[in-house]
Amino acid sequence: MQLPDAARHDLTALGWPDDATVRATLAALPDGRIARVCAQHRSGYIVATASDREFPVQALAAWTRRDCAPEARAVVGDFVLLDPQRDQVVALLPRRSLLQRAAAGESFRRQPIAANVDAVFVVSGLDADFNPRRLERYLVLVRACGAEPVLVLTKQDQHPAVDAEAALAAIAAQGVAIHRINAKDPASVAVLHPWLGPGCSVALVGSSGAGKSTLTNTLLGTQKMKTAAVRAHDAKGRHTTTHRALIGLPQGGVLVDSPGMRELKPTGTESVERGGFEDIEALVGQCRFRDCAHGSEPGCAVRAALEAGTLDAARLANYCKLGEEVAAAAEGFAAQLLRKAEGSARARSRQQRHLHKYGRK
C-alpha cells in the first residue's frame, strides 16, 4: 500500500517522522491502517490514527500470553498496524527507540516506558526534591534507549538558585541540554520548542511532583492533565498521574506524560560510561594500572582529580554504584534467559519421551 501524501502528512502530527527509512517502511506495508498507541489498558489499547480519532482496539492474542516478553508487546508510543475491517492490532511496526527500566521489585524483568521517542525530558523540580544523583541515573537509562536526554528543571520561579552547580556543569559538559523553567509559564517553556513539532515525539519522566503534567498542560495550552500540589515538608508529589498517556500537541508531534517514578533501576543494557560519565571514563583510562581500583595505587588519575577538586566524590560514588547495578542486572537477566532455555529444553525432552512411549495420537 502506498499511502497518499495527505495521509503521510497527517501521520507526522502523530509523531511519525517523515524520513527516508520511514517512507520505505510505509511503502512496504500491506493494506491496513497505521495507528499510534496512546494508552494501554488491561485488555487492549487506546490508539489514534492519522484522522485524529482515538478509539479502543484489541491486542494481538500472542501479547496476552503470560510468557510474552514485555518488550514484545506494544507500549505507549508504538506504531501498530490495524486490521482493515476490525479494531484489532495485527502487527507492531519497527521501533526507533524504546525507553525502559527494570520492573520495580523484580530486577530481571524489563518494563518498557515509551516507544519511538526522539527526546526524553528528564523533569526535576529545583525544590527540596532536587537530587543530582537521581538525574545522573535518569541520564544513564535515557542514553541507552537512543533518544536525546534533555534536563528540564522546573519551579525556577520559586527556587532560582540550587546548590548543585558542579553536578549540573558536569552533565552539561557531556553535551546534555539543561533548561530551567517555570512550567506554568508559556513564555518560559518556549525554550523546549526545538524538540517539539510535526514528526517529533518526547517522553516526560521524573519523580512525582516534578511538574510533568504542569508542563504538558502549558505546552498544550489547556488543563488536560490533572496536577496537584506537592507535600509542604519535603516537596514530594502525590502520584497524581496514574496512567501513561500520549498527547498530541497543537503544533504537531506528541508528548508522553507518565506517572512519577518511585524507583529507576537499570535493565543491564545500559553503558554507564556513555550515559553521562565520559569524563570519569577518560580519567580511568589515564590510571597507570589497567586494573586500578582507585585506592592506594600509584599513578591513579581518578584520585588525583579528586584531590585536585576537579572531580566530585559523590558523583564518582554514583558512577561506581550505577556500574555495579548495570552489571548485576545484565548478569541476572542472562541467568534468567538460561533458566528459561533449560526449562523449555526439559519440556521438549519430556514430550519426546512421551511420544516415544505412547506414539503420536
Ligand X SMILES: Nc1nc2c(ncn2[C@@H]2O[C@H](COP(=O)(O)OP(=O)(O)OP(=O)(O)O)[C@@H](O)[C@H]2O)c(=O)[nH]1
Residue 294 binds which one of Zn ion, Mg ion, ligand X, none, with CB within 5 to 8 A depending on kind?
A: Zn ion
Rounded Cα distance between 109 and 174, Å, is 30
Query: Which residues, other chains included, contact 247 with Cβ-Cβ below 8 Å and sequence gap of 6+?
Result: 38, 216, 220, 224, 225, 254, 255, 256, 257
Residue 22 binds which one of Zn ion, Mg ion, ligand X, none, with CB within 5 to 8 A depending on kind?
A: none
Residue 146 and residue 114 in contact, taking contact as beta carbons nearer than 8 Å: no
44 binds ligand X (CB under 6 A): no
Least CB distance from residue 210 to Mg ion, whole Å?
8
Restricting to residues 242-301, name those near Zn ion by CB under 5 A: 287, 292, 294, 300
Express the helix, strand and coil content of the chain in percent, nearest 5 each: 35, 20, 45
Binding ligand X by CB under 6 A: which of 40, 107, 154, 267? 154
Binding Mg ion by CB under 5 A: which of 40, 154, 241, 267? 241
What are the φ and ψ backbone dihedral angles of 288, each rounded to 5 degrees?
A: -65, -40
The C-alpha cell at 215 is 508542563
Which residue number, 73 or 294, has a Cβ lying nearer to Zn ion?
Answer: 294
Least CB distance from residue 133 to ligand X, whole Å?
19
Least CB distance from residue 99 to ligand X, whole Å?
16
The C-alpha cell at 332 is 541476572
227 binds ligand X (CB under 6 A): yes
259 binds ligand X (CB under 6 A): yes
Sign of CA dihedral 207, 54, 142, 18: negative
Taking CB under 6 A as the binding criterion, the range among 67-75, 177-185, 292-300, 314-322 that sits at the site for ligand X is 177-185
Query: Which residues, other chains included, contact 77 with Cβ-Cβ below 8 Å and sequence gap of 6+?
Result: 15, 36, 37, 114, 115, 116, 117, 201, 203, 246, 254, 256
Site residues (CB under 5 A) for Mg ion? 212-213, 240-241
Binding site for Zn ion (CB under 5 A): 287, 292, 294, 300, 302
Footprint of ligand X (CB under 6 A): 154-155, 157-158, 182-184, 206, 208-214, 227-230, 237-241, 259-260
